[in-house]
Amino acid sequence: MIDIEITEEDNISIISVGGDVDASSSIHLDEALRKLVEDSAVKYILIDCTRLEYISSAGLGVFMSYIDDFKTKNIRMVLFGLSNKVMNVFQILGLDQLLYIVPGKKEAKEKLHEVQS
Amino acid sequence: MISEKGLIRLSLLFAILCWLALMVTDLFILFAQINQANAGITKEIPYLFLSLFILFSFFYFKLRVLKAESVNFIDLLWHVFSTGLIVSLIQLAIGLFFYLLSNSKLLQNDLAINFFYHINIAAVIVFLTSTFVVWKRLILYQKNKRLLFIWHFFEYGLLATLLFNFFQSEFQQWVFTGLLGLFFVLGLVLSFNLKWIAYLNFKQKWRSILLLALVLLYLYYFLNNLFSFSQEFNLILDLMNNVFVLSLAGFIFVYALISILVILFNLPTSSVFEQKISEVLNFQRLSQSIQKGDNEDQVYNVLLESSTNAVFSDSAWLEIYNGDEKTKLFKSNISESKIMQTKKSLQESSVFSYLDKQKSNNFQKNLNPARLTANLNDPDYSSVLAIPLIIQDRQIGLLVLLKDLADGFNKEMVDIINSFVNQACISIENFELLSKALENERYREELKIAMRVQKSLLPQELISDIHFEMFAFYESADEVGGDYYDYFKIDEHKTAVIIGDVSGKGTSAAFHMSQMKGIFHSLVQLSLSPESFLTKANNALGYCLEKTSFITASYYVIDNKEKSIVFSRAGHCPALFYRHNKKEATYFQNRGLGLGIVRNDGYGKYLDTNEINYESGDILFLYTDGIIEAKNKDGEEFGYDRLSKIVTENGGKKPEEIKELVIHELYNFIDTESLDDDYTILIIQFS
């Protein structure tokens, strides 16, 4: 089961993803991201993966499909709080080379600024 | 074993022979009496022949009537009537003969009289036994165990009275009367089994009455005839003294009489019964018409016809809505212009507004039968019954029945039409479901073909030569899968090997897999480095894949001269490499990015290219992530550690054994037959 919460902190939208993201549940993650990407006010997105237990290749496909959108719309997205197992999945596919992935929320906010400047 | 036909002929033959023997012995005894001589035969002999004659003729008719397959009651009665007609013609002929020769000397001759009387005996017994068998068939129509028991008691008891003849004397008069009374009572009880009458229609009932009345008449005539013989002449064998014959005649008479009375009382209600029967038959037609391979129109026609017949409507129509297409119209005794005119009147009636309201509620509630009928303000019709055809809360049509008298439809009529309509809707729904099931079956067949095609996309033969030996295993979760492996001998020394996995499962994955095969075989011929191979493949796939899809792959170039492997990893799970000298399997550590994720020229920078040297006994173990991600019941993954442990422990074995062990462990771990993902293993053992 997937569990998604969207909150906002100092102009930063935070998606907190919990549980398993597989082929069927990845639709919800896709909906959440689409909502933010289509909102022109959103410029910074943090993905909180602290509660994320499992992600399948379909789940990775969701992040992957927005990489281009982020570039064209000038949106910065940083993921943080990934468990070793989840991180490994990102690494194997090579998405760690394309996405910003940091250990904690503090680093994530710094990363957002770094990217900005 | 004698056939049934043979038995019938045989019993007929024996019956005739017994009758002839009876006549000869009787006449012989009489002759001896007249001449005051001792005939040398006792009275029991002719009784024996009489009994045998009765038994054989009984047996003959039993076989014949039971053999007749039709349960047409009128046919059975007709059979009795025609037998009776022949018998009475014979008796009339004898009567005429006697009348003409009333003064002649011949009639003074006992021998001649007894001869004619024997012909009478045969005719009457034939009539009695054949009628008895027919009555049996009628009484036992829709029998139960109790009835069958009583009947058997009656039938065998009756036959047993044939023995009575042998002990005949004046002292037994009370036994005679007692037996007669017993069989009369039993026959009376049995005579109230008249279920067959209910199944006759009005016309058949009248015919039955006529035929039964004639049976009564025959019986009276025959008995009267026998009685007068018995009174007037000196008979050697008098049937009037025979319990069997009298009981039988009495029973046949009682049953015929009761049947006539019951049919007579049933006459007024037979139209109702006929109506109900036709409703049931129509119901059956409605539910069966689709199965016979007819189309939906057939059901609609049956519905319209059954409905008009059931309520005696003057006109009717059935309209079937076909989505955007033109509404189909089925008419009964009404023109299209009349329908238009009646529709206008209908719109003013209460039925229309009621249906409109139900329609806006999507027919969630059950329809109120009383609201479906109303009187019309129309020049041609005075009352209407309109019932919508509903399948799963969706109205597919409307049945409109019209009568030219007011209040023409009562509650029973509405109910029966309602059930007709429901049955028709069920039939149509079943038809639709069946068509869908057939379509699904076709898709399944198509998928099977796809599976065969896809299997043929994987290499049918693998390399097994002096340099290395390959072994592969592939199993798909769905009919078609997204895993791919292949190899190509680039030149004498170099062999390219690829393993890949398409994101997602099923048909779309299978399509992408076949694209990957095309790309592999196009590019591999260019003898590219792994990095440039994957870069070009990435570019090509950028045009083929949709945005959320990607393919992971690893590309290996094995050089058996240099004993080296050059490889790059495009997001595929890292291969295991077993070093024979260290007896240890480890995963390759290198960067890489899945194909189709970055769709520009910068792809190459995300890739590493590595080179290792191999020695004899080393193993390159390739697999897809289905193996790693296979989960057990607790949601735990099979994982990298389990896999590397098995390969480390068994690296010295043959590739086939290693594969068996991995698969065995994997299935033990997941503990289920159904696969979540595709599993692929490709093992290369160097020699």
How many domains is chain B built from?
3
- List chain A residues with CB under 8 Å of B547: 65, 68
Same domain membership, residue B478 and residue B402: no
Of B572, B573, B593, the CB nearest to A97: B593
| A82 neighbors A51 (Cβ within 8 angstroms) | no
Q: How many CB pairs under 8 A join A and B?
A: 60
Residues of B in contact with A21 (CB under 8 A): none
Residue B426 shares a structural domain with residue B506:
no
Looking at A35-39, A76-80, B117-121, B240-244, which range is the least confident one? B240-244
Kindly list the residues of chain B whose beta carbon comes within 8 Å of any beta carbon in chain A.
501, 503-505, 547-550, 552, 570-574, 591-594, 597-599, 606, 625, 629, 637
**pLDDT at B185 > cutoff 70:** yes
In a domain, B56, yes or no: no
Please indicate whether, in this complex, the C-beta atoms of A64 and B591 are within 8 angstroms of each other: no
What is the rounded distance in angstroms from the CA atom of residue B651 to the CA atom of residue B647?
Answer: 5
Q: Which residues of A touch B504 (CB under 8 A)?
A: 23, 57-58, 61
Report pLDDT for B424. 87
- Does the pLDDT of residue A115 top 70, yes or no? no
Domain co-membership, B141 together with B168? yes
Q: Mean pLDDT over residues B639-666, rounded? A: 90
Q: Do residue B252 and residue B354 come from a single domain? A: no
Q: Which residues of A34-71 are buried (b: 16+ CB within 10 A; e: fewer)?
A: eebbeeeebbbbbbbbeebebbbbbbbbbbbbbbeebe
Chain A residues 8-47 with a CB less than 8 Å from chain B: 23
How close, in Å, is residue B591 to chain A by CA atoms? 7
CATH number at residue B479: 3.60.40.10
**Of B434, B451, B486, which residue sits at a domain end?**
B434
* pLDDT category of residue B577 using cuts at 50, 70 and 90: very high
- Rounded to a whole number, what is the distance in Å from the CA of A21 to chain B's nearest CA? 13
Domains in chain A with CATH codes = 2-116 (3.30.750.24)
B648 closest CA partner among B662, B669, B664, B637 = B662
Residue B58 lies in a domain: no
Chain A residues closer than 8 Å to B637 by CB: 85
pTM of the model: 0.56
Same domain for B514 and B417, yes or no, is: no
Of B547, B570, B597, the CB nearest to A98: B597
Say if residue B199 is in the same domain as residue B121: yes
B447 within a domain of the structure (yes/no): no
Mark whether B600 and B675 lie in a shared domain: yes
- The Cα B70–Cα B112 span in angstroms is 43
Out of A60, A68, A92, closest to residue B574 by CB: A92
Contacts of A92 in chain B (CB under 8 A): 552, 571-574, 625
| Angle subtended at Cα B592 by Cα B587 and Cα B597, rounded to the nearest 5 degrees | 135
Query: B679 pLDDT band (50/70/90 cuts)?
Result: confident
Span B443-477, pLDDT tens digits: 888 888 888 888 888 898 888 888 999 999 888 87
- Which has more pLDDT, B324 or B653? B653
Helix axes B243-266, B202-232, angle to 10 degrees: 150
The answer to whether residue B68 scores a pLDDT higher than 70 is no
Q: Is the pLDDT of residue B653 over 80?
A: yes
Q: Does residue B217 form part of some domain?
A: yes
Confidence grade of residue A117 (pLDDT, cut at 50, 70, 90): very low
In a domain, B9, yes or no: no
Mean pLDDT score, B634-638: 84
Q: Give the length of chain B.
A: 687
What is the domain-level CATH number for residue B419? 3.30.450.40
Contacting residues of B for A85, CB less than 8 Å apart? 637
Q: H-helix or E-strand containing B613? A: strand B609-613
Dist CA B490 CA B479 (whole Å): 32
pLDDT (average), residues B402-414: 87
Q: With a cut of 80, say whether residue B290 has pLDDT above it.
A: no
CA distances to B304, B348, B356, B413, B642 from B373, in Å: 17, 13, 14, 10, 75
Q: Inform me whether the pLDDT recorded for B6 exceeds 80.
A: yes
B250 pLDDT above the threshold of 60: yes
Torsion sign, CA atoms B104, B109, B112, B116? positive
The helix (run of H) or strand (run of E) holding residue B450 is: helix B411-457
Give me the pLDDT at residue B69, please.
59
What pLDDT does B121 receive?
A: 86
pLDDT of residue B258: 93
Judge whether residue B516 has pLDDT over 60: yes
Best CA proximity match to B169, nearest among B235, B241, B120, B219:
B241
Residue where the block lists tokens 């043959």: B654
Q: Which of A23, A62, A93 sits opposite B594 (nearest CB)?
A: A93
Read off the tokens for B223: 């008995």
Q: Quick one: average pLDDT of B531-545?
A: 90
Asked if B629 and A67 come within 8 Å (Cβ–Cβ), the reply is no
- Per-residue pLDDT tens over the stretch B264-284: 998 888 888 778 878 888 877
Tens digits of residue pLDDT in B420-447: 888 888 888 888 888 899 999 998 888 8
Question: Taking 70 as the threshold, does the pLDDT of residue B169 lie above it?
Answer: no
Of A23, A56, A94, the CB nearest to B592: A94
* Beta-carbon separation of B594 and A97 below 8 A: no
pLDDT for residue B316? 92
- Shortest Cα distance, chain B CAs vs residue A10, angstroms: 31
Give B684's Cβ-side CA count (13 Å radius). 28
Q: Which of A29, A65, A92, A96 has the highest number of chain B CBs within 10 A, making it the mutation to test binding with B? A: A92
B629 to A23: CB separation less than 8 angstroms, yes or no: no
> From the CA of A8, how many Å to the nearest CA of chain B?
27
Between chains, do B593 and A98 touch, taking CB under 8 Å as contact? yes
B8 in a structural domain: no
Phi, psi (degrees; rounded to nearest 5) at B101: -100, 25
In a mutational test of the A interface, the residue from B507, B512, B538, B547 whose CB has the highest number of chain A CBs within 10 Å is B547
Q: pLDDT digit string (tens) for B477-494?
A: 777 778 899 999 999 899
* Pair B459, B645: CB distance under 8 Å: no
Contacts of A97 in chain B (CB under 8 A): 591, 593, 606
The sign of the torsion formed by the CA atoms of B639, B642, B644, B647 equals: negative
Coil, helix or strand for B322? Answer: strand
Verify that B473 and B572 share a domain, yes or no.
yes
* φ, ψ of residue A105 in degrees (nearest 5): -65, -35
Point out the residue among A57, A95, A98 whose CB comes nearest to the CB of B503. Answer: A57
Does B504 contact A58 at a Cβ distance shorter than 8 Å? yes
Interface of A with B in 66-105 (CB under 8 A): 67-68, 85, 92-95, 97-98
ipTM of the complex in this document: 0.86
B598 and A98 within 8 Å at the Cβ level: the answer is: yes
Of A60, A68, A94, the CB nearest to B591: A94
For B627, the token pair is 């193996």
What residue of B is the nearest CA neighbor of A26?
A: B548
Residues B317, B333: contact at Cβ < 8 Å?
no
Q: Is the pLDDT of residue B168 over 70?
A: no
CA-based nearest residue in chain B for residue A30 = B548
Nearest residue in A to B592, CA atom: A94
Same structural domain for residues B468 and B588? yes
Query: What is the pLDDT confidence band of residue B70, given thresholds at 50, 70 and 90?
Result: low
Residue A61 has its nearest CB partner, among B505, B550, B629, at: B550
Residue-wise pLDDT for A12-33, tens only, equals 899 999 988 887 888 889 999 9
One domain, residues B417 and B470: no
Find the mean pLDDT for residues B600-629. 89
* Residue B107 confidence (pLDDT) above 70: no
Place of tokens 């005739």: B16
**SS3 label, residue B330:** strand
Q: What single letter denotes the amino acid at residue B169?
A: S
Q: Which residues of B305-314 are buried (b: 16+ CB within 10 A; e: fewer)?
A: bbbbebbebb
What is the model's pLDDT at position B609?
92
Rounded to whole angstroms, the Cα distance separating A37 from A44 reads 10
Domain boundary residue, one of B242, B272, B302:
B272
> Rounded to an integer, what is the distance from CA B371 to the centroid of its chain?
38
> Which of A19-23, B163-167, B400-404, B426-430 is modeled with the greatest confidence?
B400-404
Q: Are the Cβ atoms of B571 and A92 closer than 8 angstroms?
A: yes
Out of B549, B552, B629, the one facing A93 most closely (by C-beta) is B552
| Domain's final residue, options B272, B305, B328 | B272
CA distance B40 to B405: 87
Counted residue by residue, chain A has a size of 117
DSSP annotation string for B296-318: HHHHHHHHHHHHHHHHT-SEEEE
Q: Write down the pLDDT at residue B685.
A: 92
> What rounded mean pLDDT belongs to chain B?
86
pLDDT category, B522, cuts 50, 70, 90? Answer: very high
Write out chain B residues lying below 8 Å of A94, CB-based: 570-571, 591-594, 597, 606
A54 pLDDT band, cuts 50/70/90, is: confident
A chain contacts of residue B570, beta-carbon cutoff 8 Å: 94
Asked if A65 lies within 8 A of B598 by C-beta distance, the reply is no
Residues 6+ apart with CB under 8 A from A47: A14, A15, A17, A77, A78, A79, A80
Closest Cα in chain A, distance from residue B504 (Å): 6
- B341 lies in the same domain as B405: yes
Does B570 contact A92 at a Cβ distance shorter than 8 Å? no
Tell me what pLDDT residue A58 has: 78
**Among A93, A97, A98, which would you mutate to test the B interface (most chain B Cβ atoms within 10 Å of its Cβ)?**
A93
Domain of residue B619: give its range. 459-686
Query: Is residue B426 located within the same domain as residue B495?
Result: no
Say whether B550 and A98 touch across the interface (CB within 8 A).
no
Q: Is residue B52 part of a domain?
A: no
What residue of A is the nearest CA neighbor of B504? A58
Nearest to B120 by CA among B19, B242, B243, B48: B19
Contact list in A for residue B552 (CB cut-off 8 A) is: 57, 92-93
From chain B, the residues in CB contact with A93 under 8 A are 550, 552, 571, 593-594, 597
In Å, how far are A44, A101, A104, A112 from A12, measured between CA atoms? 5, 16, 15, 9
Indicate whether B480 belongs to any domain: yes
pLDDT digits (tens, 9 = 90+) for B217-244: 989 988 888 888 888 877 777 777 777 8
